Amino acid sequence: MRNTKNNRPIGVFDSGVGGLSVLIELEKILPRENFVFLADQLHVPYGEKSKSELVGLAYRIVDFFINKHDAKMVVIACNTSTCYSIDALRRKYSLPIIGTVPAVKPASEKTKSGAIAVISTPATSKSRVLKKLIEDNCWGMEVFNVGCKNLENAVEKGNIDNPRVHILLKKYLKKIKNSKIDYLVLGCTHYPFLKKSIRKYVKPPVKLLDGGFSIAKRVGFLLKTNFLKTGKKTKGKTLYLTTGNSAKFSKVAGKLLNKTIKSKTVKI
């Protein structure tokens, strides 16, 4: 009975396709788990919304995961939503909720030059959470905190290497071009899909760092300690959902994941 109960899915959500970069890592580390991925594309971009809007949307999504899919755990695959809504979610719900925050701590531990940069959405860039991460982990270091308007939207449309993306990247990354940073933190889950394009402006030895792997490891640890790990011996399944246009989502997600994706439109 316990194993059957533990076959319940893990809910993973983002404002759009960016959270797929986290899902990739989750599926790698936890191949037997079932996932429900929800892209809240009706309300994208999250990076330009208020705290009250973000908390309200997060409540609706977690309710959806619990009521419609009996989720055993929720992963917020969105830095902006985590920064503004995770505390409220943890107060309201009893199931484990794992967030996504910019990988400032690991970057601060790895840096040799004493200088790092963080690129994120405007909302994450201005958030109290990011400010505290920097204050707590980067004492005495030089930190470039760069908010990137419209970059999230570009990835949403599947534009990861077109002229518009390069105009935006050139604009935002010029702020760190002549700095001594050795780590660039990708503080939005959409941005790992831009690594190839980012590399045209940020050359080695600067390393690119995102939180996907660490989140997946944390989820695995919490599944074990909360006795929620699936008892299945077969490969898990992932259900793809969007609050927007399912045909558009499937096309872009398929391009980013390099496989055929079938999704369904839902209301939250």
Q: Angle at which helices 128-137 and 79-92 pack, to 10 degrees?
A: 100
CA–centroid distance for 265 within its chain: 21
Selection from 245, 268, 261, 262 nearest residue 69 by Cα = 268
Binding residues: 14-15, 46-47, 79-80, 189-190
**What six digits make up the tokens of 32?**
């037997």
- 78 is annotated as an active-site residue: yes
Side-chain-side CA neighbours of residue 222 (13 Å): 17
Which residue out of 83, 138, 148, 188 is catalytically annotated? 188
Binding residues for substrate: 14-15, 46-47, 79-80, 189-190
* Alpha carbons 79 and 236: distance in angstroms, whole number: 26
Which residue out of 78, 83, 138, 148 is catalytically annotated? 78
- 83 is annotated as an active-site residue: no
Residue type, 132: K
Whether 235 contacts 31, CB under 8 Å: yes
Q: What are phi and psi of 46, to 5 degrees?
A: -70, -30
Catalytic annotation, residues: 78, 188
